[in-house]
A and B are shown apart, each in its own frame.
Chain A
Amino acid sequence: MDNRFQKITTVEKLLDFFHDGMTLMYGGFGGVGSPPTLIDAILQMGVKDLILIGNDTGFPHIGIGQIVSQGRAKQITTSHIGSNPVAGELMTAGKMKVEFCPQGILAERIRAGGMGIPAILSDIGMDNEIVTNGKQICTIDDKQYLIEAALTAEVSIVYAKKADPYGNLIYDKSARNTNPVCAMAGEITIAEVEEIVPLGSLNPEEIVTPGVFVDYIVPSQGVNWKWAWE
């Protein structure tokens, strides 16, 4: 296979990037669009004390939920843990610190990280102490806004439908969700993809994430969990 950019690799060769206490960002929304093969490898490795950043905690047996429900995360910045009761139990027991962030602002903080912007201003959630707690407020044109810090991570893991050898990505329907922004916000970005296609075969007008943001590409083994609706 054409691998002139040396980005196409295997999960086994990337394991050194994962270690205890690291910050790990993941794409996906309720498990849809989370990279199953990478998540499985991280689980098997047994790394712990992870600091996670992602939309939600999936379901106990779906997506990042598997890592959370095995107690491998010490902290998470997320918008929703309601589909994963184990996450709630860990939070209540003080075993996992949870920073809740309104969903769209969380995605925008990740985008800011990926765009090289240090923070954004937001007027979302200003009536709720859980959101405002500890955040600076600034005033523009007599209106108050929260300063919401950008988010980046040591490693970002994302899922895409197709990649070419340069790491140009297109996604699959609603499995796109937070993946394009997470792909930009990792110091190292690993894309797990359904299909690797020849260079030049993706329509340049339709590429969603330019390969500039993608460091490694691994083929997906597919979803190894049962969906809640199945």
Chain B
Amino acid sequence: MGMGIEMRHKMAKRAAAEIKQGMVVNLGIGIPSLVPNHLPAGLHVMFHAENGITGMGPNPKAGDEDENLCNAGGFPVSLIEGGSYCDSTLAFGMIRRGRVDMTILGSLQVSEKGDLANWIVPGKKVPGMGGAMELAQKAKKVVVVMNQTDKFGESKIVEECSLPLTSAKCVDMIITDMAVFTVGKNGLELAEVFLPHSVEDVITKTNCRVKVSNQLTFS
């Protein structure tokens, strides 16, 4: 929201760096959908969609769209070699069975324990959870890509989520427009800071306990 395209791509690029050869990856809407643009050539990844696609490829050119080949957000995609179609139950079986290696998704709030709240603002916005609960709970690695703060300047990383949870203790990494955090058994750790921000800037905008990694990097 209100974020420059350059920063959106920087965040997407950082998320892309988490993807390793041979992974099955599910991407949410928004910034996560930019991730495929930042993968190195020759890296084989199967992008998974909840509506029943394994091996999603790039968006087709205008005029080449197929109305019956769309991602979970309803937008035209393509299929790579080795890709396949299945029904929704199988697509979710892949998730629940632990065959989806990573999900990259947006969020409204994340707690220091890795609790995720990403689908409901009581009394305001109740769109429904879609497939977010299964993905958050069962994907092997959960990477959240979101702004550091909301439109009121409040930290979206909090001690306890005030919004209803999508899933508790599920987030492994948070990539914001200021920094990268990891969530482990020792709590929230600041791993990377995006210049020109300083560690102090990031900590000021993070509304919970955060440990600074001894391998902290700047980029």
Contact = CB atoms under 8 A, between A and B. Distances in A.
A227 B180 CA distance: 37
Interface string A209-230: 0000000000000010001110
Contacts of A207: none
Given A104-B96, A178-B87, A79 B129 contact: yes
B131 A102 contact: yes
B147 interface: no
Contact of B166 (A78, A128, A174): A128
A80 B168 contact: no
Contacts of B34: none
B26 to A, nearest CB: 12
Contact of A104 (B50, B77, B115, B165): B50
A111 interface: yes
A177 B65 contact: no
Interface in A77-116: 78-83, 88, 91, 98, 100, 102-105, 107-108, 111
Nearest to A125: B133
B49 A79 contact: no
Interface stretch (A2-10, A24-32, A37-45): A24-32
A83 B72 CA distance: 12
Interface stretch (B1-9, B120-128, B187-195): B120-128
B96 A177 contact: no
B86 interface: yes
Interface residues of B, number: 47
A85 B156 CA distance: 25
Given A32-B67, A127-B168, A178-B87, A81 B128 contact: yes
A59 B74 CA distance: 10
A61 B73 CA distance: 16
Contact of B70 (A103, A111, A171, A174): A174
A143 interface: no
A220 to B, nearest CB: 12
Contacts of A149: none
Contact of A174 (B49, B127, B138, B165): B49
A103 B50 contact: yes
Contact of B51 (A88, A129, A172, A174): A174
A107 B72 CA distance: 14
The 10 closest A-B pairs by CB, nearest first: A104-B92, A82-B127, A30-B74, A80-B128, A175-B68, A103-B131, A107-B88, A80-B130, A29-B51, A102-B133
19 contacts: A56-B130, A59-B74, A78-B128, A80-B129, A100-B128, A102-B133, A103-B92, A103-B130, A103-B134, A104-B89, A104-B95, A105-B134, A107-B89, A124-B138, A128-B129, A128-B165, A128-B166, A173-B69, A174-B53
